[in-house]
Amino acid sequence: MSGDRIPAAEPAELVPASARLRAEGVELVELSFVDNAGITRVKTAPLDRLSELCRYGLGASPCFETFTFDDVMLRGTHLGGPDGDLRLIPDISRLTQLAAMPGWAWAPADKYTQDGPRFVACQRAFAARQVEAAADAGLSVSVAFEHEWVVAEEQDDFVPAISGPGYGQVRLEALADYGLALTRAMREQGVEVLQFHPEYAAGQAELSVAPASPVGAADDAVLARHTVRAVTRNHGWRASFAPCLVPGGAGSGAHLHLSVHDSRGNLLADGPGRHGLQARGESFLAGVLRELPALVAIGAGNPASFLRLGPSRWAGIWQVWGREAREAALRLITGTAGTQSWAANAEIKCFDATANPYLVVGAVIAAGTAGVREELTLPDEITGDPALLSESARAEAGIERLPAGPDEAADALASSEVLAEALEPELHDAILTVRRGEAARFAEADPEDVASATRWTW
């Protein structure tokens, strides 16, 4: 991770890394950042310029902070418009040869101003700050994203490239060579794959990777999605991480798994609380649960996200928690008997790949750390499907639905004191500018138009 100012010298690992990549045929390097609409933006340069980039950066306009997902330029209170410039500084510790794009390497970038200090709205820096704030509270957090996407024929309309039952052997046979190429590419890029399988929705597959530090896990998410798209293209197909391909059907999520530790171990296991929760682990989850309405604007705030967030789809639309409760937005996973101390984790089910993964991990950590600071406790857990209860029964049980549209989610983020303080005014306002702008532009669009507009964006 780069520091608070543009570095005055090249990182020590630059020379051997450059030499290795040059020997392996790399000629171009991609520097990526993710904007507030969840779009991964890139600038590229020849490998021979990498030394210069590490010291002085590669220019990028700050206008992208308030771009919508379909490249409409908005202006916020603090950011937006055509003026100014930033410097993208590559994180050389993550410099990776791209296995599915021969001749290319990739590195995530941190944003700095031309005068040297870190850009106030750098999303990767925001995530790192929340990791530091959690560490100050004696906490460390490990996270991992699940990746769901659809494999489609190479055309604008959605035609699944594979068919057969969800999780079915028939689908796996159709994806066998593809899955092998994908997992090999991930391994060559240093990302450990835990699972690959055909999923439930039409043409859908899923990849799970090993947990990592929060910033590293967000980097892994960017790299994994690139790799999926590249491998899919190499097989003559098209990949989409969009939350909804066909309105009314099951969609693709990007569930976040997290575990919280202190110096003694996992705070979600081996404790006296419900299902083995320790007090500070419960407080962390309670903080996340409290902020979930606002977190929806961060993790699933695109208009297309709400086509996926429907009842009885395991999408996690209810602001509740429960052990292995797949209709709850916050699912506690305790692990198999004998594995709890290292396997216990929590899953946030309502997020999808329209989100900036750096914002997701940073905002979730901020919410959880606030819960620990305030010593919050979890309410009663739920079982079953809340959609099958009457409204009065849900109200009596304290079961509330998460925001059902982008405006409602943006309002929740605007009113969240915890996230406003963590994000700071510039970044907080930029996110709201993007979310409200997208909501206004698609307010009158029917579901098919929304799905069509977002189908091949992620």
Q: What is the pLDDT of residues 24-71, one digit of tens each?
A: 999 999 999 999 999 999 999 999 999 999 999 999 999 999 999 999
For range 71-99, the mean pLDDT? 94
The pair of three-digit structure tokens given for residue 179, joined into one six-digit string: 């899955």
| Phi and psi angles of residue 125, each rounded to the nearest 5 degrees, phi first | -70, -35
Residues of the domain holding 86: 14-119
**What is the band of 166 on the pLDDT scale with cuts at 50, 70, 90?**
confident
In a shared domain, residues 245 and 306: yes
In a shared domain, residues 95 and 135: no
| Phi and psi angles of residue 308, each rounded to the nearest 5 degrees, phi first | -85, -35
For range 245-273, the mean pLDDT? 94
Q: What's the confidence (pLDDT) of residue 156?
A: 87
In a shared domain, residues 109 and 160: no
Q: What's the confidence (pLDDT) of residue 2?
A: 55
Residue 252 lies in a domain: yes
Residue 5 lies in a domain: no
Q: Is residue 15 pLDDT above 90, yes or no?
A: no
In a shared domain, residues 273 and 348: yes
In a shared domain, residues 328 and 201: yes
Q: Give the residue among 360, 367, 412, 125 at the shortest CA–CA distance from 255.
A: 360
Q: How many domains does the chain have?
A: 2
In a shared domain, residues 242 and 145: yes
In angstroms, the CA 41 to CA 31 distance is 8
- Better-scored residue on pLDDT, 9 or 249: 249
Of the residues 119, 141, 175, the one at which a domain ends: 119
- Helices and strands (H and E) in the chain: how many: 13, 15
Contacts of 321 (CB under 8 A, 6+ apart): 285, 289, 328, 329, 330, 331, 332, 378, 379, 381, 382
Q: What's the confidence (pLDDT) of residue 94?
A: 96
**What is the band of 9 on the pLDDT scale with cuts at 50, 70, 90?**
low
In a shared domain, residues 308 and 387: yes
Q: Is residue 196 pLDDT above 50, yes or no?
A: yes
In a shared domain, residues 228 and 310: yes
For range 288-299, the mean pLDDT? 98
CATH number where 59 lies: 3.10.20.70
**What is the band of 1 on the pLDDT scale with cuts at 50, 70, 90?**
very low
Contacts of 33 (CB under 8 A, 6+ apart): 40, 41, 60, 64, 88, 108, 109, 111, 123, 124
In a shared domain, residues 420 and 382: yes
CA 38 from chain centre, in angstroms, equals 8
For range 283-307, the mean pLDDT? 98
Residue 375 lies in a domain: yes
For range 226-236, the mean pLDDT? 98
| Torsion 348-366-300-235 (CA) sign | negative
- Better-scored residue on pLDDT, 18 or 442: 442
CA 299 from chain centre, in angstroms, equals 7
In a shared domain, residues 207 and 266: yes
Q: Is residue 144 pLDDT above 90, yes or no?
A: yes
Residue 354 lies in a domain: yes
Coil vs helix vs strand at 332? strand
pTM: 0.96
In a shared domain, residues 142 and 103: no
Q: What's the confidence (pLDDT) of residue 348?
A: 98
- Give the angle subtended at the CA of 162 by the CAs of 159 and 163, to the nearest 5°: 95
CATH number where 233 lies: 3.30.590.10
In angstroms, the CA 157 to CA 452 distance is 8
CA 281 from chain centre, in angstroms, equals 22
Q: What's the confidence (pLDDT) of residue 13?
A: 82
Contacts of 98 (CB under 8 A, 6+ apart): 30, 104, 105, 106, 189, 226, 227, 230
Contact assessment for residue 61 and residue 71, using Cβ atoms and an 8 Å cutoff: no
In a shared domain, residues 93 and 225: no
Q: Is residue 201 pLDDT above 50, yes or no?
A: yes
**DSSP H or E stretch at residue 89:** strand 86-90
Residue 177 neighbours by CB distance under 10 Å: 10
